[in-house]
Amino acid sequence: MGKDWYDKCWRDQKWRLNHLYYIRSKEHGIVRFKMNWAQEYLYDHMHTRNNILKARQLGMSTFTSIYILDKCLHEPSYEAGIVDKTDEDAKEKLRKIRTAFDYMLTPPQMVGYDHVEDPEDKEKIKQWAMVVANRAKGDKKEPITKEGAEFANGSVITTGTSLRGGTYSFLHLSEFGYVANRLPQKAEEIMSGAQETVPSNGIIVMESTHEGAKSGRNYEIIKGAMENESKETLDPLDYKFFFFTWWKQKEYRTESKNPLDPRLDGYFEELRQQGIELDEAQKRWYLAKEKTLTNRMKTEYPSTPEEAFMALIEGSIYGTAITNLRAQGRTSFVFETDDVLPLYVSWDLGTSDNTTMWLIQPGNDGKFYVLDFYSSADKDMPHYINQARIWEREHGQLITRHLLPHDAAQRGRWEAVSPLQKFIQAGLPAVQVQQTRDKWSSINAVRSFLRHCVFHARVNKPIIDEGVERLSGMNCLESYRKAPMGSNGVLRDEPVHDESSHGADSFRIFVEAYEQGLVSREGARRQSSAGGYSQTGSFATKINNESELLGVPSWWN
């Protein structure tokens, strides 16, 4: 280690992190901590604000725990905070810190793995670690308790589910994706409270798997961090994006001579086309994990950032149906409108919130072709009627019927006419769809109906409304979910009312209309060369060049 080896202990934090501390590992018991590839990358590229989208078990919590301890031991009056989804989870990270600190005071007798091999070096490091730990302990009997830590040099560690007040040089926000999806009010409290306790030159490490598809506070933060990648220089308050995937972890592999299960061959080929080459041992590991995690696999072990946003939300109502459609390539196909079959728009009419519209064309092949989706809020009815006119111009065909919810004939308190009357005044063919008494029977009908749907790629694109990004139609269906368990532990068998529910409700209107005989497969009115419209007859699907390049899938016929 050289004559002045101890200078590294004091001056070089990276050296200290890789030499002074012990952790408890699953594989080898007590081991000397050494950064893995993900931890080292984060350390080398850390910014003041860091957003980490990750796979499970890559050691981010272990790294931040050791990092916090090192800072507290070597910088007087250093204040660090740990925020997690529960108090017990936050305290578990504090236990990691205490384990490392206790082994500095009393070095372990048995070490499962130690990357420092020279006995003389080990002894020197041990003696120095004891000096550092005893100095930090001072005359305190227990500097680290179950609730937090306070060292002789004035450094402090605080834990909780949300921290408000005080000033922290380092804040670890763990599993924010879980909190944002299941406890959105708590997530807002963390962002307005704990985040604001860190000055611009302090450090925040927000690390989490993602839940909630393309919705919720966590998605907004990840999306913003990903957009920041295009900036030449990040501001101190800009979040920097990190993605740590499962396939870079060398332990995630299963050696075997048995033939590979071909069930996910298509998925592995998609990864290969994106430049991700997996060997057989990695594929076997993934297959084994996927069998047990099923729909949670893309949440726990995403292969790409985009994949994490495709994972099912907990309690997703249509999630399984959408997953099956996606596996068949029916959620983002590219096709043209058929100009001889009718078009329908199904509506959810919002007064104080979102109004949503689906454009759907039934085919005479048993499929329903979902052509487009639109969503906005706080607009008057002419705005939405104009959107319907835009669709008519784009597709060269009048809309055969507008399908309105059961209460469309009711006037608002301050309105002279009802929404239905506004449609009639605009010369639009509109009909009220009778409400199904049992909402869940209607929802189950949608689940069955989705098996017959083909969604255009447009339906996957978010709606940009006056600079505000709103959920795409596909996001609405994927994000529509049951209410989470209440504070008394009772499950509420009802859907959550949020942005996604409006799009899901307007889609359900179409299914109810179909079951009530309000959707026909005849009678389209095609625009003539003279600018008028005429009745037409048979079905003839047209595929554009992009679809032809992709090939027509087996389900098309």
> 249-263, 456-470, 509-523, 536-550: lowest mean pLDDT where?
536-550
Q: How many residues does the chain have?
A: 557
pLDDT of residue 473: 93
Mean pLDDT across the stretch 398-423? 83
DSSP letter string, 385-398 = HHHHHHHHHHHTEE
Q: What's residue 491's pLDDT?
A: 52
The count of other CB atoms within 10 Å of the CB of residue 99 is 18
Predicted local confidence at residue 153, as pLDDT: 95
Mean predicted confidence (pLDDT) in 52-81: 95
Write the pLDDT tens digit of every residue in 256-296.
Answer: 877 888 888 888 888 998 999 999 999 999 999 988 888 78
User: For residue 509, is pLDDT > 80?
Assistant: yes
Q: Give the three-class secondary structure for 250.
A: coil
Q: What is the pLDDT of residue 470?
A: 86
Query: Which residues, in sequence order, are CB contacts of 208 under 8 Å at separation 6+?
Result: 52, 53, 54, 173, 174, 175, 176, 177, 178, 218
At 45, the pLDDT band (50, 70, 90 cuts) reads very high
Q: What is the pLDDT of residue 413?
A: 55
339-391 confidence digits (pLDDT tens):
889 999 999 997 667 899 999 999 988 899 999 999 999 888 899 999 999 99
The architecture (CATH level 2) of 344-550 comes to: 2-Layer Sandwich (3.30)
Least confident of 58-62, 114-118, 308-312, 333-337: 308-312
Q: Is the pLDDT of residue 34 over 90?
A: yes
Q: Answer yes or no: is pLDDT of 242 > 70.
A: yes
Give the separation between CA 23 and CA 30, rounded to whole angstroms.
6
The closest alpha carbon to 312, from 498, 479, 448, belongs to 479
Asked if 360 and 336 touch (Cβ cutoff 8 Å), the reply is no
Contact 342, 520 (CB under 8 A): yes
pLDDT of 515 strictly over 80: yes
Determine the average pLDDT of the residues in 437-451: 92
Look at residue 319 and tell me whether its pLDDT is greater than 50. yes
> Given the structure tokens 């070096």, which residue do they identify?
121
pLDDT at position 203: 97
Report yes or no: 539 and 341 within 8 Å, Cβ to Cβ.
yes
Report the amino acid identity of residue 117.
E
Provide the pLDDT for residue 316. Answer: 82
Arithmetic mean of pLDDT, 305-323? 80
Kindly indicate the confidence band of residue 156, based on its pLDDT and cuts at 50, 70 and 90: very high
- Residue 547's pLDDT is what? 32
Q: What is the pLDDT of residues 81-126, one digit of tens each?
A: 999 999 999 999 999 999 999 999 999 988 988 999 889 989 999 9
In the chain, where are the structural domains located? Answer: 6-244, 247-311, 344-550
Q: What pLDDT does 10 receive?
A: 77
* CATH superfamily of this structure's domain 6-244: P-loop containing nucleotide triphosphate hydrolases (3.40.50.300)
What is the Cα–Cα distance from 480 to 482, expressed in whole angstroms? 7
| Mean pLDDT computed over every residue of the chain | 86
Q: What is the pLDDT of residue 517?
A: 93
Task: Map tokens 């952790």 to a residue.
Answer: 23
Decide if 6-244 and 344-550 have a common fold: no
Q: What is the pLDDT of residue 267?
A: 85
**227: its two tokens:** 């957009």
- Looking at residue 306, what is its pLDDT? 87
Residue-wise pLDDT tens digits, 525-547? 444 444 443 433 332 233 333 33
Give the pLDDT band of residue 307 (cuts 50, 70, 90): confident
Rounded CA separation 351/38 (Å): 48
Q: Strand 240-244 vs strand 49-54: parallel, antiparallel, or unpaired?
A: parallel
Q: How confident is the model at residue 549 (pLDDT cuts 50, 70, 90)?
A: very low
DSSP letter (8 states) at residue 336: P
The token duo for 314 is: 């907990």
